[in-house]
């Protein structure tokens, strides 16, 4: 099968080319307006089993039909963009594909472009062709996720979503051009079951992307972006009350600066940001810090047949620089289906119903991308304990002894034996004394009293008659989906991470009297719970880069 990829060496086209190069049944034309760049890129594709051919191809060529007839591809993939700037004849390539009886797909995220491709539906069906638009993160992946989340629900009221790219991924010029084109400009979004006007990058929300049992992204600020989903998803769910999509770029200081300039445009104090797109790209690609990981979330609210309100969310985390592959996975999945005899139905449309989440899941696993779902009924469920709520579906990955220890709903005493080590520096000794941490020793009797209530759990630990307490509760705001543990005036946001049947508690943020403190100055250490032949065991380590070890205690507990 011959596939012509226009823009094949660009930001997303290059990722798609790398994925498709692993399929021996394919001949790939690596096409663009520079044959030199196409040839250079072909040399960089590793371990390819497909036939790779560089090709000069200009999508704006007036003789594009003639070019397609000479190449005779089975499928044309447009990976160029930005689709918001395709001029007076945006469907130039689509029309050429119709004229030459060639199937077509694209990575478009321009609202009008994706929606209006349906004008060619009857022509495509008459020629038994498929013309699929928006086969990218938005709207195809988002629609596929929403369709999965809504199974079993009678009504769906709202959809929220966001993309949080890694700060270390280079952002291409076409992406920046698209963002600056709508920053502060009017755009149509869904509110109160209607399309109303809002302004790009001037509305914000915070969200924590957190697949259950996996290290979450730090809580991010998301700003309203223009995506086809407002209209495309509304076509799938006509009675939906609201749809909101945002981008959560970091560093947050630059994100807030972009919000500020968007407001200047919104207030007509500035015409637009398009003329600054190259400067914005340079700043975002050179001033960056934070974790080298990105993610995505989709959250819905709906009602089942029994009238219960559900909130369900889907979370994705991509480590390292894998994130830019995600927009290309839809096309990769469709090509995989075609090679297995599952050809898309003929017609011209946004490809929102052409894939299932399982198609994506197989590709996520190959790339090491982590996904998971969370669910709550009426947003509060008093029948669940604190750790059950936070771990959600990952709760069932815990060994039974850990589940039992975190299932107590009434005042409970557990006891056991522990070994305690203390730091030797003066500062570490002062901190240990201030928080009443236990003295060093072997075979120390330990008792823990749990006092749970609707707000959280009070843990009182007693080592050889010396006690200290902490209050554990569900985090909110910047600590959303974290376990907040408060020691006096200090509160620590802890991620609950399951790895090799151990439950790790990892510090993600901290505060003093509610005032956030710098994360790089937070105490750290390796703390986890584990099972040993059916017995609950623990290892708690508290240290700091300025003091070294403060305290480390390990041992076992059982109900007294």
Mean pLDDT over residues 531-553, rounded? Answer: 96
Q: Per-residue DSSP letters for 106-133?
A: E----HHHHHHGGGGHHHHHHTT-EEEE
Report the SS3 class of residue 430: helix
CA distance 166 to 323: 7
Would you list the domain boundaries of the chain? Answer: 2-133, 139-321+369-377, 386-559
pLDDT at 521: 94
pLDDT at 45: 87
Distance, CA of 447 to CA of 538 (rounded, Å): 13
Token readout for 559 is 């109900």
d(CA 223, CA 205): 7
Reference 362, options 392, 394, 390, 340; nearest CA is: 340
Give 380's pLDDT tier (boundaries 50, 70, 90): low
Amino acid 82: pLDDT: 61
Task: Give pLDDT tens digits for 193-250.
Answer: 999 999 999 999 999 999 999 999 999 999 999 999 999 999 999 999 999 999 999 9
SS3 34: coil
More confident position, 382 or 32: 32
Query: Could you tell me which residues come within 8 angstroms of residue 342 by beta carbon, excluding any fewer than 6 positions away?
Result: none
Which contiguous run of DSSP H or E holds residue 176?
helix 173-182
- 50: closest CA among 361, 366, 368, 335? 335
pLDDT at 109: 87
Whether 535 contacts 401, CB under 8 Å: yes
CA nearest to 51, candidates 42, 59, 39, 60: 42
Quote the pLDDT of residue 175: 82
Burial level of 368, CB count in 10 A (0-12/13-18/19+)? Answer: exposed
Give dist(CA 357, CA 10) in Å, integer: 26
Fold for the domain defined by 2-133 = Rossmann fold (3.40.50)
Backbone angles phi, psi at 515, to 5 degrees: -90, 120
Strands (DSSP E) found in 51-199: 51-56, 75-78, 103-106, 130-133, 153-164, 186-191, 194-199
Q: pLDDT tens digits for 52-66? A: 999 999 888 778 999
376: pLDDT strictly greater than 60: yes
Contact predicate 109/182, CB 8 Å: no
Strand order in the sheet with 130-133: 51-56, 27-32, 2-6, 75-78, 103-106, 130-133, 347-350
Q: What pLDDT digit, counting tens, does each position of 406-445 carry?
A: 999 999 999 999 999 999 999 999 999 999 999 999 999 9
- Sign for the CA dihedral angle at 271, 274, 280, 284 comes to positive
Which residues neighbour 354 within 8 Å (Cβ) at sequence distance 6 or greater? 132, 135, 140, 334, 344, 345
CA distance 242 to 188: 12
CATH 3.30.360.10 fits 139-321+369-377, yes or no: yes
Residue entry with tokens 């040399």: 43
Query: Is residue 256 predicted with pLDDT exceeding 90?
Result: yes
Question: Contact at 8 Å (CB) between 104 and 132?
Answer: yes
DSSP class of 439 = P
**Per-residue pLDDT at 382 exceeds 80:** no
What DSSP character marks residue 289? -
The whole-number pLDDT of residue 262 equals 96
Q: Report the alpha-carbon distance of residue 138 to residue 161 in Å, rounded.
A: 10
Going by C-beta distance under 8 Å and a sequence separation of 6 or more, which residues neighbour residue 44?
A: none
Question: Rounded CA gap, 355 and 130, in Å?
Answer: 14
pLDDT at 96: 95
Summarize pLDDT for 272-309 with one digit per residue, the tens.
898 888 898 898 888 888 999 999 999 999 998 888 88
Please state, in angstroms and rounded to a whole number, the distance separating the CA atoms of residues 256 and 502. Answer: 38
Residue 60 pLDDT: 80
> What pLDDT does residue 87 have?
63
Per-residue pLDDT, averaged over 500-522, amounts to: 95
Q: CB–CB of 539/518 below 8 Å?
A: no
Over 60: is that where the pLDDT of 84 sits? no
Decide if 102 contacts 1 (C-beta within 8 A): no
Strands (E), 142-274: 153-164, 186-191, 194-199, 204-207, 220-224, 242-247
Q: What is the pLDDT of residue 63?
A: 87
Q: What is the secondary structure of 340-378 as a DSSP string? A: TT-PPPSEEEE-TTS--HHHHHHHHHHHT-EEEEEEEET
Q: Which residues, including other chains, have CB under 8 Å from residue 198's CB and lie 6 or more apart? A: 186, 187, 188, 189, 191, 224
Average pLDDT, the chain: 93
How far is the C-alpha of 352 from the C-alpha of 134, rounded, in Å?
A: 8
CATH of domain 386-559: 2.40.128
Task: Return the pLDDT at 526.
Answer: 96
Helical axes 252-266 vs 277-286, angle rounded to 10°: 160
Residue 83's pLDDT band, with cuts at 50, 70 and 90, is low
d(CA 434, CA 228) in angstroms, rounded, equals 56
């Amino acid at each position: 099968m011959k596939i012509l990829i226009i823009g094949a060496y660009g930001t997303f086209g290059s990722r798609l080319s790398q994925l498709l190069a692993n399929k021996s049944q394919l001949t790939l034309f690596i096409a663009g307006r520079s044959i030199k760049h196409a040839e250079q890129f072909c040399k960089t594709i590793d371990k390819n089993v497909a036939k790779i051919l560089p090709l000069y191809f200009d999508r704006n060529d007036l003789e594009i039909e003639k070019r397609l007839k000479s190449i005779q591809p089975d499928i044309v993939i447009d990976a160029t963009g930005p689709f918001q700037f395709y001029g007076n004849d945006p469907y130039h390539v689509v029309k050429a594909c119709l004229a030459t009886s060639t199937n077509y797909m694209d990575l478009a995220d321009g609202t009008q472009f994706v929606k209006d491709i349906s004008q060619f539906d009857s022509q495509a069906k008459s020629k038994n062709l498929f013309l699929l638009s928006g086969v990218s993160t938005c709207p195809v992946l988002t629609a596929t996720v929403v369709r999965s989340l809504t199974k079993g629900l009678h009504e769906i009221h709202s959809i929220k979503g966001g993309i949080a790219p890694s700060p270390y991924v280079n952002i291409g010029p076409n992406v920046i051009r698209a963002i600056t084109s709508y920053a502060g400009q009017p755009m149509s979004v869904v509110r109160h079951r209607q399309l109303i006007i809002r302004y790009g990058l001037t509305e914000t929300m915070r969200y924590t992307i957190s697949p259950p049992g996996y290290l979450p992204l730090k809580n991010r600020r998301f700003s309203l972006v223009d995506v086809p989903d407002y209209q495309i998803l509304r076509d799938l769910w006509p009675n939906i009350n609201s749809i909101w999509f945002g981008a959560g770029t970091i560093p947050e200081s630059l994100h807030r600066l972009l919000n500020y300039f968007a407001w200047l445009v919104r207030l007509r104090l500035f015409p637009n940001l398009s003329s600054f797109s190259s400067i914005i790209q340079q700043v975002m690609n050179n001033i960056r810090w934070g974790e080298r990981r990105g993610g995505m979330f989709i959250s819905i609210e709906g009602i089942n047949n029994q009238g219960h309100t559900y909130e369900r969310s889907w979370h994705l985390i991509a480590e390292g620089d894998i994130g830019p592959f995600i927009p290309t996975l839809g096309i990769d999945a469709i090509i995989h289906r075609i090679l297995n005899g599952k050809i898309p139905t003929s017609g011209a449309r946004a490809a929102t119903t052409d894939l299932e989440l399982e198609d994506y899941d197989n590709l996520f696993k190959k790339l090491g991308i982590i996904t998971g779902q969370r669910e709550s009924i009426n947003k509060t469920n008093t029948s669940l304990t604190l750790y059950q709520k936070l771990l959600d579906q990952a709760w069932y990955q815990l060994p039974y002894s850990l589940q039992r220890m975190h299932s107590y709903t009434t005042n409970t005493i557990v006891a056991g034996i522990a070994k305690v080590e203390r730091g030797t520096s003066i500062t570490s000794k002062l901190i240990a004394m201030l928080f009443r941490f236990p003295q060093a020793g072997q075979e120390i009797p330990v008792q823990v009293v749990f006092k749970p209530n609707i707000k959280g759990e009070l843990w009182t630990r007693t080592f050889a008659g010396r006690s200290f307490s902490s209050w554990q509760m569900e985090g909110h705001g910047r600590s959303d989906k974290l376990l907040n543990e408060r020691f006096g005036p200090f509160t620590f946001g802890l991620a609950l991470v399951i790895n090799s049947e151990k439950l790790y508690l990892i510090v993600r943020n901290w505060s003093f009297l509610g005032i956030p403190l710098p994360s790089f100055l937070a105490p750290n250490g390796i703390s986890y719970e584990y099972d040993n032949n059916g017995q609950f065991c623990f290892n708690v380590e508290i240290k700091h880069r300025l003091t070294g070890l403060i305290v480390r205690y390990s041992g076992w507990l059982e109900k007294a």
